[in-house]
Amino acid sequence: MNPLISVVTITYNAADTIGVTMASVAAQSCRDYEHVVIDGASRDATLEIARGYAGVRILSEPDRGLYDAMNKGLRMARGKYVLFLNSGDTFHSPETLEAYARRARLGDDIIYGDTVIVDSERRVLGPRHYSVPERLTAGSFAKGMLICHQAFMVRKGIAPDYDLSYRFSADYDWTIRCIKNADESRCTNLGTVTIDYLSDGLTDRNKMKSLRERYRVMARHYGHLRALRRHAALVAGKVFGKR
């Protein structure tokens, strides 16, 4: 029987961060899940660490970047729902996945929660700069990436492939397309922190390139005028250090 949830972790030379993620997934009280690791042919101890956990399904081969690996994860996932929890990120508590599962058993399309930012020592730095919307609609993301990608679980049947024309912001485009494919009455805010996000990701290291791509995503889904207004505010926040 296929699992209810596929937790997909993307790795590449992630020996320094993969351990906490693997341990977090293994510690979940919910057992109706599989853990899939998509690795980009790591040359360090990443695979050795991942293989130390029973039942983990691992694919390791060269890829064309993060979002190509995520597409591989979507194809490999056997669960009815998919959630991406990347190396260095963790569930907020051992009960977190069960909170997602309770709503998944009711047939929701999208289930999401809040996120806190942590450093490499797992110290909480604070909440994300966005608060998640109480009610999720296709227009919600015109304000930006309101929900952390790792806190966003979607029914696999409505999840499209990631658009590989975006190098840094395909997750933003993907979440919008997921929402457009969803029944808005079946999108649920869990009303609690679900993910501890490690602050040192690909987008964090390429902020301006990411902002340019996010403008393209906004314009694609919401029009150039609306995108220009919102993008100006985003750029100001990034340049002047607002979180």
Domain segments of the chain: what residues? 5-201
Quick one: which H or E segment has residue 10? Answer: strand 5-11
Answer with the residue of higher pLDDT: 131 or 13. 13
The CATH-assigned architecture of domain 5-201 is Alpha-Beta Complex (3.90)
Quick one: which H or E segment has residue 114? Answer: strand 110-118
pTM of the predicted model, to two decimals? Answer: 0.91
pLDDT(237) > 50: yes
**pLDDT at position 103, please?**
98
Count of C-beta atoms within a 10 Å radius of residue 234? 20
Query: Quick one: average pLDDT of 220-231?
Result: 75
33 secondary structure, DSSP code: E
CB 25 within 8 A of CB 35: yes
Closest among 84, 66, 67 to 5, alpha carbons compared = 84
Query: pLDDT by residue (tens digit) across 171-222?
Result: 999 999 999 999 999 999 999 999 999 986 555 566 777 878 888 998 899 8
pLDDT(28) > 90: yes
